[in-house]
Amino acid sequence: MEPFRFKRFSVIQEKAAMKVNTDGVLLGCWTAADPSSHQILDVGTGSGVIALIMAQRMSEYGGYFKIEGIDIDGDSVEEAGINFLSSPWNASLGAVLSSFQDFMEGEGEWDMIVSNPPFFIDSMKSPNVKRSLSRHAETLSQREIINNSLRLLRTGGKASLIFPAAEGREFLYKLSFLLEKTGAGNFALFPIRLCEVFTKSGKPCRRIMIELVKVLLSGAEVYLLPEPERLFIYDGEGGFSKKYIDLTQDFYIGL
């Protein structure tokens, strides 16, 4: 299989459980890159594409940053490590074989977590075991995403996630339920940005991107969802929409 070539890096993905896909590229491009986000954790890194996109974006600020990609699949970690080493930001990237639940490095110190998590909650597994593990939520439940993000993020740290539309709405419902049960003096995740992704106008929402911030509750917070952005991948003429091009043109060759 030929490497997937972006403008400033390439991704080999012969053995990785999850290949380069639109979801990962969208999340890496949409996540709010911040010069104060010196430590970024990519959960379920696969071939490493989200980490590489974040590295390219963070390098534009010129300061120190560290991005760690973790995955439970050894082949994915091996290929992500190769992709990181062959990139212009190899000194700032690392790949580690670990689940999110077992990852202990830098508890309470990470500035940002990014993840395209497993999302099939109730469905038959694929006969491809590796791909099935990367897609089925029994390896990383939504509650575990919330709990481990709270454990690893610093106060004010952010998590950026992408889900299929139904799972994204379920995730937001779980967040609101947990916030109702969480008292003052405890930490919680609040949604601060939402983006609904559509293939084109007139079609149903396919994906939801969610950005969260870790806050210490005072007891006066009100759970209100931010007004969602809307992103249409294609325009009415069948080409890529201007917003999609603006978002991804620094990465995709030909845009």
The domain over range 4-248 is classified in CATH as 3.40.50.300? no
CA-wise closest residue to 72 among 25, 161, 27, 132: 132
Q: What is the pLDDT of residue 121?
A: 44
Q: What is the pLDDT of residue 126?
A: 45
- Cα–chain center distance at 49: 10
Name the 3-class secondary structure at 62.
coil
Terminal Cα-to-Cα distance of the chain (whole angstroms): 23
CA-wise closest residue to 158 among 116, 190, 195, 118: 190
Contact 134, 99 (CB under 8 A): no
| DSSP 8-state symbol, 186 | S
Q: What is the pLDDT of residue 238?
A: 87
Domain segments of the chain as ranges: 4-248
CA-wise closest residue to 84 among 124, 42, 120, 126: 42
CA-wise closest residue to 255 among 7, 1, 19: 7
Q: Interhelix angle for 74-85 vs 49-59, to 10°?
A: 30
pLDDT string in tens for the chain (255-residue length): 889 999 999 999 999 888 899 999 999 999 999 899 999 999 999 999 999 999 999 999 999 999 999 999 999 999 999 999 999 999 999 999 999 999 999 999 999 999 999 864 444 444 544 444 444 446 899 999 999 999 999 999 999 999 999 999 999 999 998 888 888 889 999 999 999 999 999 999 999 999 999 999 988 777 789 999 999 999 988 899 999 999 999 999 998
Q: What letter represents residue 102's amino acid?
A: D
